[in-house]
Structure 1
C-alpha cells in the first residue's frame, strides 16, 4: 500500500489487497488449528488423568470443598466433599454449572421416576465414551469459572430498561446524515460538506456519551464473557448434534430448541454481540466507529433485544450443560467399574445389597458383605475397634446416596426403596458457635427425629452419646433406638455396648443383631471385615494396649 501511494501503480494496490485477503484466510486457518490443538491437548490430559486415577497414583480432580455443608444430614459424615471425597472421585466436570449440578445431585434425593430416567441416561452415556470425552474437552478449553458464570447470570437477571425514543431515532438519523453528506462530498467535492461531516461526527460522539453509562452497565464485570458464551454455544451444539435414545437425554436436548432455532445459534449471536461491544474499550476504534455510525449504540440495542427475547431461556440452556456434565461424571463411574450395578428400585421399603462395599476403597483389597433390611428393618451393629463397623455404615450411606440419584452402586446386586439419608457419625466441636461435641451430637439427633416426623428415612448412627457416662449413654442409646424404629426408620446403629443389643428381644421382628469379629493369631490381630449374625464376642482393646506397651 505504501508503494501504491508512492508510485500510483495499480499492481501494488492489487498485491496489497491479495496479501490482505491471504492474511485473513491464513488467520482463520490458524485460529481453527489452534483450537483443535487445545482440544487435543485437553483430550490427552483427560486420558492421562484417568489412567493415573485408575492406577490410584493421584486424584487430579476438584474436590468440591466449597459445597460442604456441616449442617446437612449426611454431607460431612459421609465425606461427600473435600479431599479424597466421593465428589472428588466422581467429578469429571469442567464448567462451574457442571460442578454445581453434580454437587446438588449428591445432596438431594430424586423421585423414583427421576432415578429410573437417570439410570437409563447413564447407561446410554456409558457406551458413548468418545462423545463424553470430547464434550469434557470442550468444557475444559472454555476455562469457565464461578465469576464468569455469575457475571452472565447477573447480566441476564437485570431487568431491561428501554432506551429513550429520541435516542432510538437519532441512532438512525445521524448515521444516515453522515453517510449522505459523505457521499455528496465524493460526488461534488464541495469542502463545505466536510464541515457538516465534522459537526455530525461530534454530534454522534455526544449521543454516544449520553448512552455510555448504560453501555458500561451492560458490560460491567464481563471480561472475556464473549469467549465463555462462545464455548457454551459449542457445548450446546455438541448436545444438539448427537443422537440420543433415552428419555432424559432427549428431553434435555429438546430444551435447546427455541423459536424453531437451535440454542447454540442464539448463544453464538450473544457471544458476537458482547465481542462487538468490547470495542468501546478501544479509544481509536470507539471514536471512529461511533463518530460515523454510532456502532456501540446499535450493538447495545441488539444486546437489549437479545435479552428481551431470550432472558427466560438462557439459564435453562446453561443448566442443560450442567446436567450433561453431571450425568457424564456418573457414566464415567459406571464405565470405570463394570462390576458395579444399577439397583432395582421399589416402593415397598425393601433395601438389600449383595457384596456391598465402599466405592472409594481399593478394589484389590475391599471386602464385600451381603446385607438386607427386610423383614427386619433396623440393625444393631457391634464389633471391636478397627473391625470395619464405621466403614460398613459409610458403605451403606454412600451407596444409598448413589442409588438415590440414579447411579451405579458398589455391589453385585442391589434393591432399594429410595429414602432420605440421615446420619450421625462424625461431628466436631464448633468453637465458633460455642458448642461442645456432646451438644452438637444432641442437635444432630434432634434434626434426625424432626425429619422422621415428616417421613421415613434411612438412618445411620455410629456410637452415639459419647460425651456422657456409660449408664447414661447406654440408656440414652436404647431410647434413641426405640424412638427411631417407632418412626418407621430403616438403617443401622453401631455400638460397643452389648446391653443395647438385648433390645432385639423386645422387637424381634424389627431389630436384628449383626457384628464384625476380630481374631488373635500368632500374637497379632486379624480382621476379615465380614459381617456376621449375632453379637460381637471378641475384644481387641486390651490385647492391643498390652502389645504396644501401654499397659
Structure 2
C-alpha cells in the first residue's frame, strides 16, 4: 500500500526527534570530555608539584614518567572532542534538512534558494508560469546547496529537453526516490558550507595550483625536507647528551629554517590562502561523493554521471588531510615550532604538489557532479513528498491529456483539479469566464505541469500524456520606465517573440491570457482575432483566455480548428460561488456588474 502524505509528515517528525536526541547525547559527551581535559590539566599540575618536591631518586624518575601520561591522554581527548564537534555539526545540518522538509509540507516555506537570480521577463515562459523567484516552482523543488546544483536545476526548468532525455531522467529520478532515506545524509554533508569556497578550490585545482607549486619541484629541496625531521631529532638528542656545541648547531638550524620560511613565505601564502580552513568542507564533500560511489545505480542517466576513471572520494580526503596539516600554521606557536624544526609549510606544499601530480584528474568533475545529483534529489524528494503526483507519459505523437491536473503551488486543501485534452489535431482553445473564475490559474496549471513533465519530474495530476512542445506564454505584460516601453509596446514585443518562435519551432504550444490590454476594445478584438487566425493557419496549438465573447463566436467560422471552454459562477443569496471547474462552450455568466455594485457603482 502506497505511503500517504500524512505518514510522510509523521516520518519527518520522528526523524527530527531522533536527531535532536542524538545532538543532546553528543553535547553531553563533549561536556564530559571538557571535564576530563580540566582533570588532566590539574593532574599535570599535581605531578609537577610532586616533581619539584621529590628527591633525586627512582621516585623522581617515576614521577617524570607520570608527567607524560596526562599529556598523551590529553592529546587523545582533544582529537576525540574534535571528532565529536564535527559529528554534532553534521547532526545540526541533518536536523535542518528534516525540519526543512517538515516546513515545506506544512507551511510551504523552503529554506533553500528560491532562484530569484534566474528570473527573466524575456524568457518564453518562466516569468508567466512562476518558475523562479519567491513562491515559485524552483522554490518548491530546490534542495541544492551548491552553485552547480542550483544552475542545473534552473537549466532543466527553462529549456526544452529531448524526449529520450526526459525518459532517462524519469528513470533516474524514480531510482533516487527509492533511495530517498539515504539522500538526507548526502544533503546534510553539503549544506551549511561556503559555496564560494568550493568554487575557489575547483578553480585553484584546475588553473593555478600546478604553477603556484613550481618552486617545490627542485630535487634538493625535496631531499632536504624529507631528511629534516631526522636532522632536527638527532641534533636535539646530541645536544641533550653530548653538550653545548650541538645546542649551538640546533639554534643555527632554527635560524636557517626561519630564513627559508621568510624567503618562501609569499609563495607559500599564495598556495595556503586558496585552501586554508577548507579541510572540513572537503571532508563533507568527500562523504557526499562517497555516497554516490557506494550506490548500485541502474539508470543510464546516473551511470553517465559516474563514468569516471576511478573513485575520487579518497583522493579528496587525502587533499583534506594535507590541508588540515597545513592549517597548523594558523596557530602562531605551533606553526612557529613546526616550521622551525621541520619546515612544516614547505613540507605541506611538497605533499600538495605530490597529491596534485598523482590524484585523479576526475576530482573536479566529481565535485561538479555533486550538483547534478542535488538536482535529481530535488525532483526525487518532491516526488516522495507528493505520492499523489504521477510521472507523465511522453509520446512521439501530437497529444496533451491530463486527468485531475492541479497547480503544484496551490495548497492541496485549496486546489481544484481539472481534466483537459487537446484534439487529435492542433486547435486554438478559447477560454472565457468571469473575473476570478479561474481562467489564468488554469493556463498556469497546464503550463507549469508541462514544465515539470519536460524536466523528467512527476506532475501534479492523476495522469498526464503529452508530446514535447516548446512552451511560449503571454500573461504578465508590463511597461518599463527604464526602457521607455509602454504596455502596448511590451505586448507587441511579446507577440513578435511568439510569432518568431512559431516559425523556428513547429512544435510550439502557446498560452495567452487576455491579449492587447494596452489598447482600445475595438483594436483589441481585431488584433486578437487576427492573431488567433494566424495561429490556426500555422497549425499552432494554443489556449487563449479572454473576457471577449466575440472571440468565442469565431468557432462558427473556424470549426473544428477552434474550441470553446469556460469557467462560470453561480449566485446563492446574492453571493458569488466559484467552482473553478473547466466546462465546454462559451461563458454566459459574468460578475463585473456585481463587483462594481459592491463598491458603489451601478450599471444600467
Question: Please, what TM-score do these two structures have when normalized by structure 2?
Answer: 0.82
Alignment of 1:296-335 (within 5 A): 296-308=345-357, 312-335=361-384
Structure 1 unaligned spans of 5+: none
Alignment of 1:85-234 (within 5 A): 85-140=136-191, 143-159=192-208, 160-161=210-211, 162-164=213-215, 167-173=218-224, 176=227, 179-180=230-231, 183=234, 186-187=237-238, 189=242, 191-220=244-273, 222=275, 224-234=277-287
1:55 is matched with which residue: 102, 106, 117?
A: 106
How many pairs were matched up? 545
Hey, what's the Cα distance between the residues in 2 that align with 1:215 and 1:386? 66
2:517 is matched with which residue: 450, 455, 466?
A: 466
Deviation at 1:517, TM superposition (A): 1.6
Comparing 398-407 and 269-278, the one that deviates more: 269-278
Deviation at 1:414, TM superposition (A): 0.5
**1:152-206 deviations in Å (ceiling 9; x for gaps):** 2332343331514785523433663684476267458364444444444333333
Partner of 1:17: 68
8 Å CA contact 1:122, 1:407 repeated in 2: yes
2:457 is matched with which residue: 378, 383, 407?
A: 407
1:388 is matched with which residue: 424, 433, 438?
A: 438
8 Å CA contact 1:381, 1:515 repeated in 2: yes
Partner of 2:299: 246
8 Å CA contact 1:351, 1:417 repeated in 2: yes
SS of the counterpart of 1:381? strand
Hey, what's the Cα distance between the residues in 1 that align with 2:319 and 2:515? 56
Hey, what's the Cα distance between the residues in 2 that align with 1:249 and 1:152? 25
8 Å CA contact 1:403, 1:418 repeated in 2: no
Hey, what's the Cα distance between the residues in 2 that align with 1:181 and 1:24? 23
8 Å CA contact 1:424, 1:444 repeated in 2: yes
**Cα distance change on mapping 1:28 and 1:194 into 2, 3 Å:** closer
Deviation at 1:415, TM superposition (A): 0.7
**1:339-380 deviations in Å (ceiling 9; x for gaps):** 211000112221211111101212223211111223242322
Hey, what's the Cα distance between the residues in 2 that align with 1:106 and 1:310? 35
Hey, what's the Cα distance between the residues in 1 that align with 2:228 and 2:140? 64
**Cα distance change on mapping 1:166 and 1:363 into 2, 3 Å:** closer
**Cα distance change on mapping 1:263 and 1:544 into 2, 3 Å:** same
8 Å CA contact 1:117, 1:248 repeated in 2: yes
Partner of 1:451: 501
SS of the counterpart of 1:203? helix
Structure 1 residue runs of 4+, over 6 Å off? none
SS of the counterpart of 1:339? coil
**Cα distance change on mapping 1:424 and 1:222 into 2, 3 Å:** farther
Please say if 1:418 is aligned against 2:468. yes
8 Å CA contact 2:108, 2:140 repeated in 1: no
Comparing 482-491 and 493-502, the one that deviates more: 482-491
SS of the counterpart of 1:530? coil
Deviation at 1:389, TM superposition (A): 0.7
Please say if 1:346 is aligned against 2:399. no
**1:10-58 deviations in Å (ceiling 9; x for gaps):** 3234333332333333334434444444444444443344334323375
8 Å CA contact 1:375, 1:509 repeated in 2: no
Partner of 1:293: 342
Partner of 2:480: 430
SS of the counterpart of 1:364? coil
Hey, what's the Cα distance between the residues in 2 that align with 1:170 and 1:439? 70
Hey, what's the Cα distance between the residues in 2 that align with 1:120 and 1:483? 39
8 Å CA contact 1:95, 1:145 repeated in 2: no
2:325 is matched with which residue: 237, 258, 276?
A: 276
Hey, what's the Cα distance between the residues in 2 that align with 1:185 and 1:123? 64
